[in-house]
Amino acid sequence: MLVSRGRNPSAGEIISQLIQAKGLRDRVLVTLGLLLLVRLGIYIPVPGIDRLAFQDFIAKGGQLIGFLDIFTGGGISTLGVFGLGILPFINASIILQLLTAALPQLEDLQKNEGEAGRRKIAQITRYVALGWGLLQSIVFALILRPYALAGTSDLVFVVQTSLALVTGSMVVMWISEVITERGIGQGASLVIFVNIVATLPQALGSTIELAQSGDRSTVGGIVVLVIVFLVTILGIIFVQEGNRRIPIVSAKRQVGGANLLAARQSYLPLKLNAGGVMPIIFASAVVFLPLTVANMTNAPWLIKAAGYLSPNSSTPWLYALLFFALICGFSFFYASLAVNPIDIATNLKRSGVAVPGVRPGSATALYLGKVQNRLTLLGGLFLGAVAIIPSAVESATQVKTFQGLGATSLLILVGVAIDTAKQVQTYVISQRYEGLVRQ
């Protein structure tokens, strides 16, 4: 097969590699098989629970549980042994990222210890995921205790439910690592991706039934909502791929006696949305947590106070304003963890690289910090708009069939799809150059 070395692989070339290249084909089959195993584990029930009563609890006010249920593909609502899914591992990864920025020992492991340091951090993440998963399992078992079937003692119910959930979560974590190592894409992200996609058929089916049984205004509202979702997806793609290219120039270097290497020009990319989906996840947890605590404690004053923060309250503008402000704030917080202008400026100075018109060192760090702050502000405003506009359109059109498939889900779906497609393209390009070398 004749290919060009100067272009990205086409869809036909990728399909051809999937059919002909055994390595890529095996990776795809391993990925699909393990993801299927994750989905099957969701439907293995945890014993001793009245599921109908728990469904009523979620429908009446368990909004945080309903929000997390999206990322487990219905595992929490169906009460399967993989109910917690990959959530403890994701939470542990976030905790380690925060601790790495705060603890010099972890920061030294990540930056100066190379592959051995990264393996050590990965091992610590697994232990934190086990501890966090055990804590979440116990809390979840305590929430489920009122819905236990008659004849089961509270202690036995909590112990067996916690063990079942934390074991299932650790199995999902192991499967995700196997996918990362032997499959295609990042395993944890793909598990969340598949779980979100699994909720789409039900939403689409409910929407079609609503369109068939509704009037013209209902059909018009569905069309408007679908258009908003499509425009939102396009916007997410542009922002996720958007970056500011800061030009950098390397100094002339003398190599091998009289040989003088000319100055080289390149660029430093700073992402428009450095925090990704994390600001929305943090903001959603903060907004939904008071309402969930109020439902668990049944305190009247707390229920009344938390009601003002609900999207279905009489003051939805207050919820939207708080949610928007939290997203912008967490965008700056997470961008400060993901991008450190001082470290970037130090590395550029050590490598003999400078930004044209900016002095190396502290001046470069100050310049990069200003640029990153402007980019983060734009990215935070976009994330806030993406999080609020679909919900506002749902309220205006009274079409609730897509409720739950909001900004967080769309960002994850688009981001994981882009990253996985890039990894497949990278593999195909590597196969292309191996073929040229053999020729």
User: How much is the pLDDT for 415?
Assistant: 79
Enclosing H/E stretch for 425:
helix 407-438
Give the DSSP letter of residue 44: S
Q: Is the pLDDT of residue 5 over 50?
A: no
Residue 194: pLDDT band (50, 70, 90) is confident
Enclosing H/E stretch for 438:
helix 407-438
* Weakest-pLDDT range from 51-65, 180-194, 215-229, 324-338: 51-65
User: How much is the pLDDT for 23?
Assistant: 75
Which of 295, 322, 345, 323 lies closest to 406 in space, CA to CA? 323
What are the tens digits of pLDDT across the range 15-57?
A: 766 667 677 788 888 999 999 998 888 888 888 887 777 777 7
Q: Is the pLDDT of residue 435 over 50?
A: yes
Tokens of 149: 């079937």
pTM metric for this prediction: 0.77
Burial of 98 (0-12, 13-18, 19+ CB in 10 A): middle
What are the tens digits of pLDDT across the range 310-343?
A: 666 666 677 778 888 888 888 888 887 778 888 8
Which of 87, 33, 43 lies closest to 65 in space, CA to CA? 87
Q: Is the pLDDT of residue 408 over 60?
A: yes
User: How much is the pLDDT for 326?
Assistant: 85
pLDDT (mean) for 121-128: 89
- The residue written with tokens 């991008």 in the block is 339
Quote the strand ranges of 327-391, DSSP E.
353-354
DSSP 78-131: HTBTTSSTTHHHHHHHHHHHHHHHH-HHHHHHHHHSHHHHHHHHHHHHHHHHHH
Higher-confidence residue of 384 and 76: namely: 384
What are the tens digits of pLDDT across the range 273-309?
A: 877 777 877 777 677 666 666 666 666 776 676 666 6
CA distances for 303 relative to 180, 230, 246, angstroms? 43, 36, 50
Give the DSSP letter of residue 8: P
Assign residue 405 a region (left: φ > 0; alpha: ψ between -120 and 50; beta: otherwise): beta
Q: Is the pLDDT of residue 394 over 90?
A: no
Percentage of residues of the chain with pLDDT beyond 70: 75
Q: Which domains does the chain have, with CATH numbers?
A: 1-199+422-439 (1.10.3370.10), 200-404 (1.10.3370.10)
Residue 221: pLDDT band (50, 70, 90) is confident
User: How much is the pLDDT for 4?
Assistant: 43
Alpha-carbon span 188 to 81, nearest angstrom: 18
User: How much is the pLDDT for 145?
Assistant: 83
User: How much is the pLDDT for 280?
Assistant: 75
Which of 55, 99, 102, 56 lies closest to 76 in space, CA to CA? 55
Please list, residue by residue across 262-299, b when 16 or more beta carbons sit within 10 angstroms of its beta carbon and e when fewer do. Answer: eeeeeebebbbbbbbbbbbbbbbbebbebbbebbeeee
- Mean pLDDT, the chain, rounded, equals 77
User: How much is the pLDDT for 53?
Assistant: 77
Contact 130, 169 (CB under 8 A): no
Contact 71, 188 (CB under 8 A): no
Q: Is the pLDDT of residue 382 over 80?
A: yes
DSSP 56-83: HHHHHT-HHHHHHHHHTTTHHHHTBTTS
What are the tens digits of pLDDT across the range 82-109?
A: 888 888 888 888 788 778 777 788 777 7
pLDDT (mean) for 240-269: 69
User: How much is the pLDDT for 1?
Assistant: 36
